[in-house]
Chain A
Amino acid sequence: MPEMTRSRRTLVVKWVLLVLIAFSLVLPLAWMALSGFKRDSDVLKSPFSLLPEVWQWQNYTAMFHDSPYMTAVGLTMLGALIFTGLSLVVNSMAAYVFARLDFGLKRYFWVFCIMPMFVPGMSILITSFVVVSKLHMLNTLAVLIVPGVAAAGQMFFMRQFFLAMPIAVEDAARIDGCSRWTIFLRIFVPNSTAVFVVVGITSYMAYWNAYVWPILTISNPTLQQIMPVLANFVDDRGPQYGQLMAASTLAALPTIVLLLVFQRYIVAGVRLSGIK
């Protein structure tokens, strides 16, 4: 009997802690989403209140009718999808080669492909800009997509996963005369859902959340990406806090939805990418 009450007590303590931690982590986001429903004057008002006094649905509906904003959302989504697809194809092929194939220059190619992981974006930001402008890529969708597709970190992550795949099935397929392409497409790709999901979402997020590269390379107003548009929103419509919060909430939504849908894979993926 006393044992039961004790375990009950720890359970209650755990629940309280759980709610407290979860609440404080999510509070900024929740406040943002709820402030999207507030009147501009109510967003910054003391005493503080989480819930709006008057629910201003029009803050959100106005964003849906704001054509520059929605164009940016659509274009960024399109770019992110193409980017994700390309990065999965390019990085997984390279990862497979480094995990399973053998050739004379492999070691040098490996150093070449893995070195970029240690090059900070800022060191090559300016010269990358010069390179893409010499290639006449400025103000195109390509400049946003192509330069980031090959990513050493993503490739490394996929290779670690491929290395751990059992080799027996592959041996059998080889004896049956399957080519390396068949093995890659029929055995590796279908059995790597987890790693493809994690890399895919990371790529999508990287593209969706990009800010510096788009502001450098895109000046054409019809090609604006969502994060620069949102950052400009602050300057253009500063005091319209309600709408600003609604716009931010909508811009955060796609990546949050992706996380919630694929949470199982992502949480496991972080473990995989640990230092082991």
Chain B
Amino acid sequence: MTPEPMKGSDMKAPATEAATHRERQGSVTAKLGETAPPAREKRAGSREERRTAYLMLAPMMVLLAIFVIWPLIFAFRQSMYQGNFYKPPVFVGLDFYKYVLTDPGFYQSLKVGAYYAVIVVPGGMLIALLIASFIKTLGSRMASFMKTTVYLPTVVSAVIASVLFKIIYADQGLANWVLSLINVAPKNFLGSPTMVIPAVAVPGIWLGLGITTLIMLAGLLDIPDSYIESAQLDGAGFLKRTWYITLPLLRNVLLYLFVTGIVAAFQEFLLPLLIANGGPVNASTTPNLYIFNQFRAATPYAMTFSITASLLLFIVLGTVSALVFRLIRSEKAVDA
């Protein structure tokens, strides 16, 4: 489906926002009340307002109901029925959850996904931190040039990145040329089960670097200069300043990037699909690619199996990110 590159930032309580908002509304109606008979004006206004609200919300609600909520409920229901397009479904309860949870292929794909995420997320964050720290020291013109350059790969599609990196990893491609510069024998990146995931992780990092860097830069710019300056006066070098001042103050930003990064990386499947087709021997079959392949295999159980597996993944990843964001929020409350 259509991806949302700007994943919503958090689960910041709608309740508190609504509360402050209500206060504002209150002041508006109070002002109106001074100029007109209070009760009637207020009721008429709020009915009008309600009608406008429902009208303006209608397209959003209807579309989400049809294309997200219905498919989601349908998926939960379907995970309890065995069947496909051609046969009437048979109720099987939670059997398929058991099948998925005892399926070695699924666990293998989880391992691959974890391996991929463990390379892409910390690797990408480290590079992003270095580039962001560098951008922070630049003047405004150089900085804006760097910001655009760093963001450039982000707008490139996974398909184009795959086409490109497949050729880069060819026997006589760019990657082996770089190796030849440091006198390393050419490698068959995509044919080796141990190298394929790191190889796929490189375009993964490349594509995600822009957003990570810019968010980290925003976090860095929020750190008061006085902290850094006083550390500098005390003779702390770049590494010490980063370790003792920058990183602790960036904690929430880092946690946010880490969790959203892990959740996203765990779900990556276009790059391994298009670059290595999940191979060699499933070495790059990430969880979603495994699910996608199960679906494409079109065996009688394929649909229920893949739906169930994707729901399990959703439940686990959703719970993890919800918990972590709750944690960030509570810590923020303490800080403030």
Binding site for B on A (CB under 8 A): 14, 17-18, 21-22, 25-29, 31-32, 35, 43-48, 89-91, 93-94, 96-97, 99-104, 106-107, 109-128, 130-132, 135, 146-157, 160, 163, 167, 171, 174-175, 179-181, 184, 198-199, 202, 205-213, 227, 230-231, 233-234, 241, 244-245, 248, 251-252, 255-256, 258-260, 263-264, 266-267, 269-271, 273-276
CA distance A46 to B14 in the complex (A): 58
Please determine whether A101 and B52 come into contact, CB atoms closer than 8 angstroms.
Answer: yes
CA distance A101 to B49 in the complex (A): 7
Please determine whether A131 and B71 come into contact, CB atoms closer than 8 angstroms.
Answer: yes
| Residues on B with beta carbons closer than 8 Å to the beta carbon of A275 | 9-10, 215, 252-253, 256, 328
The range of chain B's interface size is 35 or more
Please determine whether B22 and A102 come into contact, CB atoms closer than 8 angstroms.
Answer: yes
Please determine whether A44 and B321 come into contact, CB atoms closer than 8 angstroms.
Answer: no
Nearest residue, chain A, Cβ from B59:
A90
| Residues on A with beta carbons closer than 8 Å to the beta carbon of B310 | 120, 122-123, 125-126
Please determine whether A174 and B59 come into contact, CB atoms closer than 8 angstroms.
Answer: no
Please determine whether A212 and B63 come into contact, CB atoms closer than 8 angstroms.
Answer: no
Please determine whether B60 and A93 come into contact, CB atoms closer than 8 angstroms.
Answer: yes
In chain B between 7 and 28, which residues have their CB closer than 8 angstroms to a CB of chain A?
7-10, 14-15, 17-18, 21-22, 24-25, 27-28
| Residues on A with beta carbons closer than 8 Å to the beta carbon of B67 | 128, 131-132, 146-148, 150
| Residues on B with beta carbons closer than 8 Å to the beta carbon of A127 | 70-72, 74-75, 78, 307
Query: How far apart are A143's CB and chain B's nearest CB, in angstroms?
Result: 10
| Residues on A with beta carbons closer than 8 Å to the beta carbon of B22 | 102
- Contact residues of A: prevailing secondary structure: helix
Please determine whether B60 and A90 come into contact, CB atoms closer than 8 angstroms.
Answer: yes
Nearest residue, chain A, Cβ from B212:
A270
Please determine whether B252 and A211 come into contact, CB atoms closer than 8 angstroms.
Answer: no
Cβ of B39 within 8 Å of any chain A Cβ, yes or no, is no
CA distance A157 to B310 in the complex (A): 27
With A29-B153, A150-B59 in contact, do A107 and B53 touch (Cβ < 8 Å)?
no
